[in-house]
A and B are shown apart, each in its own frame.
Chain A
């Protein structure tokens, strides 16, 4: 997760994320968005944006094989494979000479339990990631929102707009009704 801060009086368009950052606006992006956006990185390099902080993003630090389909995240195949790999490593590293495999496994139960607990906790995190679905983005303005001075100096226009006149009785009727309503309520 990356927090950036608008450091330019001009709006900073982040076209590849279809976004824009205003002056004094604090905005959050996920690690994935940050990695893929060249506009964001370019704006940071030129000083138009300032990077405030970067924290590991739990949702986006998940293994690549996690998908957005909940059925796949709860499927056990990936995790069992991981458990098997860890168990094999642990057995190979801890098996004393002449020890029965059954005794060894009994001794290893606390380690296995811990390994399984860690894998299960990963599955829970994956569940959270799936539930959140789309990227949750937050932004705030630091201080009042800043609007740059806009001037049409240097621009000359050749614009002819023909207006049309419409009967004003509708507006008058509405205005009278509004006044009556105001009188009733006071």
Chain B
């Protein structure tokens, strides 16, 4: 038995093999909102089938419901993770995370069941590391009876999307908190790192530029945006979409520049014998026209780009690519590759 869990700033996604060659995926939005524990409120939540956690005198709305209610009551939703790692100021975060993980992963069916979980790369633009984050999740997942094994988030995308290239690619996970980048050659990680400021940064920047709020921009973004034509959509929010398009371009150019810089630092250590693809994944990459915008951005740096690129493509299932890649690694581990 093996399973996996992708721990993202915005979503937790688990994957388990099911019967008949199927994969069972479960996900929950990584967000909560605290309320006073009042019997009438609790009753209302139960009747409305809203997900919540009860702890003493508090009720925590979790998942999408937390976001919905936060918008209704004009409150800020709280998130256990911030910029890809455990949020520094959220002291209740670990307990909430444990309950959420338990709900989407369940307890281990056999002792020491293998569970691969995702960890971000160390950021190149922020004074922090992921040591504590990794240790914390190892403990949380271990407390459910699993044998937890950490794997780089971007590397997992290559495991689920690049079998044809013998697991050689540059993968970029455009998450909410950060962008994770990895270069793999035949499963060997040549470089991996992260850049903070991704989807949340887009929302905050576009909100500042248009005098709106980040949650409103997020809502506009999630309703659907065409990056190649911001006029495509509700005329009332065209200004917000235009701002988002500008920041998307900036985001793409920033990640390409970071790949150049990080590769140059390791140039002596990596010698790729042939061209490899760039695989794009993550919730932020779901915007319509993202791949085309990325290709246009790449065209501007192609001449000076230090790595030969065969193609740029989207991951097959951008929201679940990490969880599926982790599952591949977990199943492979179970079959004795670790011996």
Contact = CB atoms under 8 A, between A and B. Distances in A.
B167 A178 contact: yes
Contacts of B159: 174, 178
Interface string B307-336: 000000000110010001101100110010
Contacts of B102: 152, 157
A172 interface: yes
A178 B91 contact: no
A75 interface: no
B210 interface: no
A160 interface: yes
B56 A171 contact: no
A155 B54 contact: yes
A178 B330 CA distance: 12
A166 interface: yes
B104 to A, nearest CB: 6
Interface residues of B, number: 60
Interface in A117-153: 137, 141, 145, 147-148, 150-152
Contacts of B186: 181, 185
Interface residues of A, number: 45
Contacts of A177: 163-164, 166-167
Contacts of B22: 165-168
Contacts of B91: 10-11, 13
Contact of A150 (B45, B95, B104): B95
Nearest to B327: A171
A179 B131 contact: no
16 contacts: A141-B131, A148-B94, A150-B98, A150-B139, A156-B53, A157-B52, A157-B53, A157-B54, A159-B51, A161-B28, A166-B317, A171-B23, A174-B325, A174-B328, A176-B163, A185-B186
Which 5 A-B residue pairs are closest in the complex by CB-CB distance? A20-B88, A177-B163, A163-B26, A159-B51, A168-B21
Interface of A: 10-11, 13, 15, 18-20, 22, 137, 141, 145, 147-148, 150-152, 154-179, 181-182, 185
